Amino acid sequence: MAIKERKEREKQDMRNLIIESATQLFLKHGYDKTSIRNMADDIEYSPATIYLYFKDKDEIFYVIHENGFALLDTELRKNDAIKNPFERLGAIGRTYMKFAFDNPDYYDLMFIMRAPLSQIKSEAEWKAGECAFGYVTQTIGECLEQKLIKPADVLLISISVWSFVHGLVSLYLRGRMCIVPMPDDVIEAMLDSAVTNYLIGLKA
């Protein structure tokens, strides 16, 4: 292996090590308690070493957030086998909620907290977010083409559907569903039904 290739591989290995450490610390302690300092302590390098590979904490968490979207996209694409786009849309909504319930820290980073918003804005395009939202938009477009839902602007419907499901998930994850005196599994079942009923309201 050429020296240049070996150095590139070593550089990538170190980046991967930092991301792996940051991810585990984040999932264990949360965003606020994950710092460059404790990442460095975890991998037994100095903080200065980490700054050779990432400019700041936001850049590291941007990679973690991208990895979260990759996990979400993998789950969403499992619904490709559902031929009826309206049924697929319902499955996408349920998959989205399950991902949030199973991965609350990832969901918080991906859709709620401001970090790593500064890094997202500095990118030419937000490929991860566009990929997930694009899948929803594509499915709704198919519903419109087959006249399965009421005619409307595809982007408007997509934003409305996403906002509805995201709102339910966010209220639940942030503890605002405490006003409903029911066990968590019952509340989650109610949220699932709410999404189903919302989508039925879109039917032609």
159-200 per-position pLDDT tens digit:
999 999 999 999 999 988 888 888 889 999 999 999 999 999
CATH code, 44: 1.10.10.60
Which pLDDT score is estimated for 165?
Answer: 96
24 with 71, same domain: the answer is: no
* Phi, psi of 84, deg, nearest 5: -70, 115
Q: What is the pTM of this model?
A: 0.87
119 with 29, same domain: the answer is: no
49 with 144, same domain: the answer is: no
10 with 98, same domain: the answer is: no
Which pLDDT score is estimated for 124?
Answer: 62
Which pLDDT score is estimated for 130?
Answer: 78
Q: Tens of pLDDT along 8-54?
A: 888 999 999 999 999 999 999 989 999 999 999 999 999 999 999 99
Lookup: tokens for 135: 């899948």
137 Cβ partners below 8 Å, 6+ apart?
Answer: 154, 155, 158
Which pLDDT score is estimated for 125?
Answer: 66
Mean pLDDT (whole number) for 45-72:
92
**At 55, which helix (H) or strand (E)?**
none
94 with 179, same domain: the answer is: yes
How many angstroms separate the CA atoms of 107 and 102, rounded? Answer: 9
3 with 67, same domain: the answer is: no
> Residues 82, 71, 85, CA angle at the centre, nearest 5°?
20
Domain range for 20 is 1-54
In order of 23, 42, 44, 56, 163, the CA distances from 37 in angstroms are: 14, 9, 10, 11, 37
Question: What band does 204 get if pLDDT is binned at 50, 70 and 90?
Answer: confident
Which is nearest to 69 in space by CA: 134, 130, 128, 135?
128
- Domain count for the chain: 2
89 with 179, same domain: the answer is: yes
Mean pLDDT (whole number) for 127-148:
90
Lookup: tokens for 130: 């566009």
Question: What band does 5 get if pLDDT is binned at 50, 70 and 90?
Answer: confident
Which pLDDT score is estimated for 132?
Answer: 84
How many angstroms separate the CA atoms of 183 and 199, rounded? Answer: 25
Exposed e or buried b for every residue in 15-26, given b needs 16+ CB within 10 A? Answer: bebbbebbbebb
44 with 61, same domain: the answer is: no
High-pLDDT (> 90) share of the chain, %: 73
* SS3 state at 37: helix
